[in-house]
């Protein structure tokens, strides 16, 4: 099928290379326009200084520059997504709109609404797989059911990847650049002020160039990833999660590259572990697509019977957790890292989530929403999957009786207190031994005592989760 004019709708795929929707539009259309919509339905609930909006804004500037080098340009609109896309399609007189799949429930509803309006206007919406290697029902059990346990899903995922190497092939863009619609003379992008936002002191490099620099740096230390990723004071993670979230890099390129490293024997123990993390991302995306109820309820229905702490006391416990004043240094330092930078180390995401749920007895959904508000790399499926894992309510989650001890986690993963001292300077003068539980050595000025005792909280948690055992009996 050939179209006279088409419109490519960028969403969480802010790059001008290896882009499925852009490739298909360019190879089937005489003239291709590109657009990004600052969706007012999403923006209206965000603070006026939001790091993610600043990341998107900076990434769009680079995307527009790259498109202009190829003869195209990026249109930017500030509107509700449905009205913004359908009205622009009519304004430009395009035959079709091209976009990449999104798997979140609200996004699926949004795309269905867009498709309905476009169809009524005699236009079409085409969407493509782009942000994952395998989507929806492409990796199933032998009984054609969706997986609920990660390891067999991973094995099936790897088997399919090896059987279908073309799944990692990139989508050529530049070779078809002659089909871009040229930029008008008065072309300009919207500023942050135009959409009602202000700079948020973004601590990371945005855009395709930022992603490429981080990936190049990570490849040089990927062999150590398996162990180094656990220590928050060590440069262990890839730091690519926000770029994966907004698609400033290609998942196909990442997997091709790490596969090559593994095949060459140069990735040590770290490369296969990192590939597993990429597969976890797709596992959670699959779970969300097939079980959208997880956004509100436990994946395991029996766990919805748990009675969480409630009332003013629970609100105060939650506020102390949010503000980093629980009296447990590793937990507090981690929450301060999140509040100040929008980033939290993955080991610390597990520690802080487990503390909120199993030490404070607070509903995991409260923590999930708080992370959603602040994380630069917030992704609904991964955030929900991580919180349900910590709460033992999710698929393939940790057992409910596995309860992290915040002190021993601190002693093991920040033994010298380097990470703690970075965010809690008031504890800087404590010894490496004292810093993990300051109250045991007389405490420290301007730092609170523990708001709960872990051993007592553990007993209450086991009692709280007993309802699960009763229902299963």
Q: Please identify every residue annotated as catalytic.
A: 277, 280, 308, 346, 364, 387
User: Which two structure tokens, joined as six digits, stand for 189?
Assistant: 């992008």
| DSSP H stretches of helix in 291-356 | 311-323, 329-341, 346-354
Q: Give the dihedral sign, CA 357/361/364/366.
A: negative
Q: Quick check: 47 and 197 in contact, CB under 8 A?
A: no
Give the whole-angstrom CA distance, residue 312 versus residue 265: 56
Q: Quick check: 62 and 69 in contact, CB under 8 A?
A: no
Which H or E run contains 161? helix 150-163
Nearest CA to 224 among 210, 234, 233, 216?
A: 234
Q: How does DSSP classify residue 359?
A: I
Angle, helices 380-391 vs 364-374, to 10°: value is: 150
Q: How does DSSP classify residue 448?
A: P
Q: Percent helix, strand and coil across the chain, each rounded to 5?
A: 55, 5, 40
Nearest CA to 387 among 407, 366, 406, 410?
A: 366
**Residue 144, Ramachandran bin (φ over 0: left; ψ between -120 and 50: alpha; else beta):** left
User: Which two structure tokens, joined as six digits, stand for 190?
Assistant: 């919207």
**Long-range contacts, 365-371 (Cβ 8 Å, 24+):** 365/296, 366/318, 367/321, 370/322, 371/338, 371/344
- Greatest alpha-carbon pair distance for the chain in Å reads 76
For 145, list phi and psi in degrees, rounded to 5. Answer: -110, 160
Residue 338 to residues 321, 334, 344: CA-CA distances in angstroms? Answer: 12, 6, 5
Q: How does DSSP classify residue 119?
A: H
Q: Give the dihedral sign, CA 461/330/47/38.
A: negative
């Amino acid at each position: 099928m050939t179209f006279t004019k088409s419109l490519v709708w960028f969403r969480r795929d802010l790059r001008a290379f290896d882009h499925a929707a852009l490739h298909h539009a360019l190879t089937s259309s005489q003239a291709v326009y590109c657009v990004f919509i600052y969706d007012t339905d999403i923006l209206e609930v965000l603070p006026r200084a939001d790091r993610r909006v600043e990341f998107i804004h900076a990434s769009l500037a680079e995307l527009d520059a790259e498109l202009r080098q190829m003869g195209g340009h990026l249109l930017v609109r500030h509107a509700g997504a449905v009205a913004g896309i359908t009205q622009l399609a009519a304004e430009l007189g395009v035959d079709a709109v091209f976009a990449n799949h999104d798997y979140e429930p609200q996004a699926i509803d949004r795309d269905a609404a867009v498709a309905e309006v476009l169809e009524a206007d005699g236009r079409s919406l085409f969407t493509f797989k782009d942000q994952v290697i395998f989507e929806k029902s492409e990796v199933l059990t032998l009984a054609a059911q969706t997986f609920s346990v990660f390891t067999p899903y991973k094995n099936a995922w790897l088997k399919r990847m090896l059987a279908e190497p073309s799944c990692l092939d990139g989508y050529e863009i530049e070779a078809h650049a002659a089909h871009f619609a040229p930029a008008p003379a008065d072309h300009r992008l919207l500023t942050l002020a135009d959409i009602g936002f202000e700079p948020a002191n973004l601590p990371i490099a945005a855009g395709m160039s930022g992603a490429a620099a981080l990936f190049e740096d990570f490849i040089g230390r990927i062999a150590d990833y398996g162990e180094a990723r656990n220590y928050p004071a060590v440069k262990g993670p890839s730091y690519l999660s926000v770029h994966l979230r907004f698609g400033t890099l290609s998942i196909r390129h990442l997997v091709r590259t790490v596969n090559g490293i593994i095949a060459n024997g140069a990735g040590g123990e770290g490369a296969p572990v990192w590939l597993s993390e990429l597969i976890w991302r797709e596992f959670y995306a699959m779970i969300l697509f097939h079980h959208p109820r997880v956004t509100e309820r436990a994946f395991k229905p029996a766990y919805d019977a748990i009675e969480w702490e409630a009332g003013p006391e629970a609100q105060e416990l939650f506020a102390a957790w949010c503000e980093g004043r629980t009296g447990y240094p590793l937990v507090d330092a981690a929450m301060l890292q999140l509040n100040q930078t929008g980033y939290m180390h993955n080991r610390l995401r597990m520690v802080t989530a487990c503390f909120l749920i199993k030490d404070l007895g607070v509903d995991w959904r409260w923590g999930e929403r708080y992370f959603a508000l602040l994380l630069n790399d917030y992704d609904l499926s991964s955030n929900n999957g991580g919180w349900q894992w910590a709460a033992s309510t999710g698929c393939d989650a940790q057992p409910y009786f596995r309860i992290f001890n915040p002190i021993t986690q601190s002693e093991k993963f920040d033994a010298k207190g380097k990470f703690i001292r970075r965010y809690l300077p008031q504890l800087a003068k404590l010894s490496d031994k004292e810093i993990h539980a300051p109250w045991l050595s007389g405490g420290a000025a301007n730092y609170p005592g523990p708001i709960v005792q872990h051993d007592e909280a553990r007993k209450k948690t086991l009692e709280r989760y007993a309802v699960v055992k009763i229902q299963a009996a």
